[in-house]
């Protein structure tokens, strides 16, 4: 899997994902579940270093192309 997310982008995604997951956990009901699940998307892409949407649109913020 190729890296297409740069260091700053990854850090922002992980931070946003963690915040959303925490907000989802402390929020009750279906709203909390939805917020938590939405938070998993930036968290997962930030940890993996690859964003399928970036691949689809040909965006690459990673300075070093990794294989």
Give domain status of residue 16, yes or no: yes
Structural domain count of the chain = 1
CA distance 67 to 65: 7
In the chain, the percentage of residues whose pLDDT exceeds 90 is 87
Is residue 67 included in any domain, yes or no? no
Average pLDDT, whole number, for the chain? 92
29: in domain: yes
Q: Is residue 28 predicted with pLDDT exceeding 80?
A: yes
User: Does a structural domain hold residue 42?
Assistant: yes
Nearest to 12 by CA among 34, 53, 45, 35: 45
47 pLDDT higher than 70? yes
21 assigned to some structural domain: yes
Instruction: Indicate whether 52 belongs to any domain.
Output: yes
Domain span holding position 42: 7-57
């Amino acid at each position: 899997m190729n890296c297409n997310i740069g260091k700053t982008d990854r850090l922002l995604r992980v931070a946003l994902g963690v915040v959303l997951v925490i907000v989802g956990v402390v929020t009750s009901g279906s709203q909390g579940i939805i917020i938590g699940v939405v938070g998993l998307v930036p968290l997962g892409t930030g940890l993996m270093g690859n964003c399928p949407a970036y691949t689809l649109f040909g965006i690459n913020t990673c300075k070093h192309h990794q294989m």
